[in-house]
Amino acid sequence: MPELPDVTVYVERLRALAIGRTLDAIRIASPFVLRTVSPSPGELRGATVASVERLGKRIVIGLSGGEGGGDAGERYIVIHLMIAGRLRWKPRGERLPAKVGLAAFDLPNGTLVFTEASPKKRASIHLVASRAGLAEFDRGGLDVFTAGAAAFGERLRSERHTIKRALTDPTLFDGIGNAYSDEILHAAKLSPFRMTSSISDAEIATLHAACIATLNLWTQRMRDEVGDGFPDKVTAFRPEMAVHGKYGEPCPVCGTKVQRIVYADNEANYCPTCQTEGRLLADRSLSRLLKEDWPRSLEELEERKAQRIAPANAALPANAALPVNATLPANAALPANATRPANATLPANATLPANATRPANATRPANAAPPANAAPPASPTSPANTARRRKLGNKSGAS
């Protein structure tokens, strides 16, 4: 979902491209996107774009004049991108893309195309008749840029949640979503699942500063990338991010592998060393399934991985017995007198020792070297096989 940095740059570029221009037409491709009909799209034809604002994660375009009359700035287009909605600036009259195209706003200098790459159709457009009507779209979240650390802490502690849930609640804080909350918490070195009731005043001050620094950093990065163009590549997963979307990759601060917890349609990404003192946070589904087997630390996780995976070139002791259906790693060597049961599979290039016994149904892959003293199989053209075929032929002829 586009968050504060993304929506801010959308608003800035729309101001530069649309303010003072006439809205020639609104083309609606999907009936699901338009949630209100008063005023109607036809009434806004010919109106002048007077303002473009951000309201949480929504974009509000203010209009004056038009076929429906009315006072300046008294009608508004409210666009909510939700998770998969995006805006694109195209040449005037650009045709809406099939399947993902929702609406188009034609201006003299170009067309604003609204798309959604999701079958769930959550993105929306509301047409509002007055500024007072915008109040229902204001979720009441605190603006972290204008609020001081004390007001930030008071809002954070006003409800008992995990810190991540509090930051992403639009009724508590403005414009922060799943992606940037991961980055903020990593910068503040706080666990995403610390409870808001347990956080200290010093940690609140650190978290508040991390919110401002992280959101400013990413807003400026987007400005620099877009320049005088338009943000056509808005995404929640960016290669420069520290932890969000970086599961299994090294933390840029300490090198520890980033971990995650998947829940509902989201996931929380964090660095155990930087944020949780080396502890692995319990995943709701996996930890309940594994119970006592759920690893409590990175060291325990690595130990269990090592126990599950036999290293390449591992050597088994003499007289060792492999379990049924066991698979050995590449280049593994079986010792003398080792027993390999039925259905056991040796990898390519495995070496069987002298006197090793290969039972019925055992599989020896390509390139496996037969052991010393192994008896070669009978050739299809050997005398023994030729006599056997003649004997079978005589029996079938007699019958």
Task: Give the HSE-up count for residue 92: Cα atoms under 13 Å, Cβ half-sphere.
Answer: 12
The full set of domain ranges for the chain reads 4-137, 149-226, 311-372
| HSE-up (13 A, CA, CB side) for residue 51 | 13
Give every CB contact of residue 276 below 8 A, 6+ residues apart in sequence.
Answer: 191, 270
- DSSP letter for each residue of 102-132: EEEEEETTEEEEEEE--TT---EEEEESSGG
154-158-160-165 Cα dihedral, nearest 10 degrees: -80
Architecture of domain 149-226: Orthogonal Bundle (1.10)
Mean residue pLDDT across the chain? 82
Residue 126 confidence (pLDDT): 97
pLDDT of residue 287: 46
Residue-wise pLDDT tens digits, 328-360? 555 555 555 555 555 555 555 555 555 555 555
pLDDT at 209: 98
- The predicted pLDDT at position 319 comes to 56
Which architecture does CATH list for 4-137? Answer: Alpha-Beta Barrel (3.20)
In this prediction, residues 32-48 reach a mean pLDDT of 93
pLDDT in tens, 137-175: 999 999 999 999 999 999 999 999 999 999 999 999 999
Conformational region of residue 205, where left means phi above 0, alpha means psi within -120 to 50, and beta covers everything else? alpha
Q: How many CB atoms lie within 10 A of CB 4?
A: 25
pTM above threshold 0.75: no
Query: For 204-222, what is each residue's pLDDT tens digit?
Result: 999 999 999 999 999 999 9
Query: 78 or 37, which is more confident?
Result: 78
Token look-up 């188009």 returns 104
Q: Report percent pLDDT > 90 for the chain.
A: 62
257-267 pLDDT, tens digit per residue, is 999 988 767 88
